[in-house]
Chain A
């Protein structure tokens, strides 16, 4: 079995509009790849198609997780395979505490008849909260309800630490974070890094990539990967902007 996330010639539409126009990407476990590109060019769409948002229709191509095509699976089956998206805009679920939700999400990954034990849950929670420098009282709050932008992002990382995915997709987790929070979030991600974790980090800014150094950088323009390179590519975008890549896309 190939331990990688592979996206093959992926086309996706919303209504009559094609947004993804043949994306090709391979992310082996052990690597984190940055995805960059101008606004409105399909980065979030790619992330949501991978997790199975029914809003989008896949018209061509495949998404393979460890060799298995996941496109016919429900979003929860994909999650149980170890795919995790830290959303660009996490939604609010009033009345459901983070603690309760985390327990249910952990339980959902267990085999029939197996229970999440209190020690397992509480032990993980303690260490995740410590990494994120968050007070325990946060887990008694309702999921994202009334959270600041930064708190919502941090909460995505809390879930990621608790659920221990194999493939993470972070959609602009850095936007809206102050400098200190950015470091904390990066620390959380780096603490999970290792040979069994792969992932995509969608961002507009080099400053996140200073902390989470990517193995590769891909640029998406108009629904396609138009350029791939090493960490230096992100630095080039930071100083020169996107004009030159947009030209690549039309060339």
Chain B
């Protein structure tokens, strides 16, 4: 396991920066090309419609310009990326069948222990493929499905095709088009009517090879009156050349169902993380995104709730932390299509050194969505004078009988707070850490305890030596 010395500087506190030697069953040549797309489809032994879909998406990708409205993407060279790497021994059901070095990787990341702990199921993706997916038997018996996306397509072709790419079509944006062309890995989840999975499902994503991309595709269907919570975590080695992660997450929350999707994104600081996450929410359903963005070089991510039927509700809680050289362009999108739908957006960002965090959010209320309402609260905390934060709220209201509330605050860590805590015996660093933890508490408390602890720990690592 090696760490590249050049990026040691920017990744000096990144504890997941080691990598394994590369041993792969398939590694496609660099660049986003038609033959690579065909190779992926062949490797997965896909039906013709999926290959056609991929190739159409590739054309859409070629026809769309790079977005220029968000973070600076000029450093991302799409021709230098490996789009498909299949590790040896992909898609095991038993932990014993996972190859040793991959197994060790996930053991170092604490994944098998996590499974033994309070989780309903665990998945692990290494490079382009899921290497492991397992659901506890009690949930399987109730008809819950938790598979790699590839197995989902094979085992539930109709359910898959009914929903796939209906929520995020390839035309949506350039990165959704890339993903649609080269997607590989990700989860397929189905929770049957009325089944309440009361402990989380978790998937862990790991990029190992240099200059590689990960394009997982996740499709989750929560049937009427069902409930579930899905958690994803991600890390990568600290290379000097950039890596690229562009996932597409599609979620269907049917009538009266309730679903929460939580992310703790801790990519190394050389990863471009451009993700499209969207949920379609039906009558009386509730969708909650809890989004923690700590790692990556650039993140552009705006989890969305499309409130399609009466009484649907969407919530986005996000935390972003931007340190030196990082830009977190994160936010949310809530679109009201139906009457009496409601939304909440709470966004909290922390910026330090030359880090930059932006809140970018859209709230749209279509005509006819009477009695609908969304409240937006975004709070930014700056730890020093070099740090930067911006807010880009877009609000479009076509309906008279609807309301959008927007509150934004920017604060600096306050000297009086530091003195107060220090006068009780806490060191300056501890005091600053505690203030930051308090700042994100409204979101951390929504996470299961172990994840809240992990989030706080990661923030403390980033905070070390940041005041003074």
A100, chain B: closest CB distance, angstroms: 8
Complex contacts, A104 vs chain B, CB 8 Å: 426, 430, 434
Could you say which of B422, B435, B438, B441 contacts A75, with CB atoms under 8 Å apart? Answer: B422
| CB-based nearest A residue for B444 | A95
Q: How far is the CA of A222 from the CA of B283 in the complex (A)?
A: 70
Interface residue? A85 (CB, 8 A):
yes
Complex contacts, A163 vs chain B, CB 8 Å: 424-425
Contacts A54-B415, A74-B428, A91-B417 given; does A79 touch B422 at CB 8 Å = yes
Interface residue? A211 (CB, 8 A):
no
| Count of inter-chain pairs, beta carbons less than 8 A | 80
**Are A54 and B441 touching (Cβ within 8 A)?**
no
**Are B420 and A93 touching (Cβ within 8 A)?**
yes
Q: How far is the CA of A94 from the CA of B420 in the complex (A)?
A: 13
**Are A95 and B442 touching (Cβ within 8 A)?**
yes
Interface residue? A87 (CB, 8 A):
yes
Complex contacts, B420 vs chain A, CB 8 Å: 87, 90-91, 93
Complex contacts, A85 vs chain B, CB 8 Å: 423
B453, chain A: closest CB distance, angstroms: 13
**Are B438 and A96 touching (Cβ within 8 A)?**
yes
Q: How far is the CA of A55 from the CA of B435 in the complex (A)?
A: 20
Residue total for A at the interface (Cβ-Cβ under 8 A): 29
B426, chain A: closest CB distance, angstroms: 5
Q: How far is the CA of A207 from the CA of B245 in the complex (A)?
A: 68
Please report which residues of chain B, range 395-428, place their CB below 8 angstroms from some CB of chain A when the two chains form the complex.
Answer: 414-417, 419-428
**Are A95 and B428 touching (Cβ within 8 A)?**
no
Contact with A along B74-117 (1 / 0, CB 8 A): 00000000000000000000000000000000000000000000
Interface residue? A51 (CB, 8 A):
yes
Q: How far is the CA of A251 from the CA of B176 in the complex (A)?
A: 82
Complex contacts, A143 vs chain B, CB 8 Å: 438
Residue total for B at the interface (Cβ-Cβ under 8 A): 24
Please report which residues of chain A, range 72-87, place their CB below 8 angstroms from some CB of chain B when the two chains form the complex.
Answer: 74-76, 78-80, 84-85, 87
| CB-based nearest A residue for B414 | A91
Q: How far is the CA of A123 from the CA of B442 in the complex (A)?
A: 29
Interface residue? A205 (CB, 8 A):
no
Q: How far is the CA of A95 from the CA of B428 in the complex (A)?
A: 18
B11, chain A: closest CB distance, angstroms: 29
Interface residue? A53 (CB, 8 A):
yes
Could you say which of B423, B426, B431, B438 contacts A95, with CB atoms under 8 Å apart? Answer: B438
B91, chain A: closest CB distance, angstroms: 42
Contacts A109-B425, A163-B424 given; does A75 touch B419 at CB 8 Å = yes
Q: How far is the CA of A163 from the CA of B415 in the complex (A)?
A: 22
Could you say which of A54, A90, A93, A109 contacts B438, with CB atoms under 8 Å apart? Answer: A93
**Are B441 and A91 touching (Cβ within 8 A)?**
no
Complex contacts, A84 vs chain B, CB 8 Å: 423-424
Interface residue? A121 (CB, 8 A):
no
**Are A108 and B430 touching (Cβ within 8 A)?**
yes
Interface residue? A242 (CB, 8 A):
no
Q: How far is the CA of A80 from the CA of B422 in the complex (A)?
A: 10
Could you say which of B423, B439, B441, B442 contacts A79, with CB atoms under 8 Å apart? Answer: B423
A156, chain B: closest CB distance, angstroms: 10
Contact with B along A153-175 (1 / 0, CB 8 A): 00000010001000000000000
Interface residue? B193 (CB, 8 A):
no
**Chain B interfacial positions (CB closer than 8 Å to A):** 414-417, 419-428, 430-431, 434-435, 437-442
Given contacts A53-B419, A95-B440, 11 further A-B contacts (CB under 8 A): A52-B419, A54-B419, A74-B422, A75-B422, A76-B431, A79-B422, A80-B425, A95-B438, A96-B434, A105-B425, A142-B441
Which 5 A/B pairs are nearest by Cβ-Cβ distance? A95-B438, A95-B441, A108-B425, A75-B422, A96-B438
**Chain A interfacial positions (CB closer than 8 Å to B):** 51-55, 74-76, 78-80, 84-85, 87, 90-91, 93-96, 101, 104-105, 108-109, 142-143, 159, 163
Q: Can you list 14 pairs linking A and B with CB atoms under 8 Å apart?
A: A51-B423, A52-B423, A79-B422, A79-B423, A80-B425, A93-B417, A93-B420, A93-B438, A95-B437, A96-B435, A101-B434, A142-B438, A159-B424, A163-B425
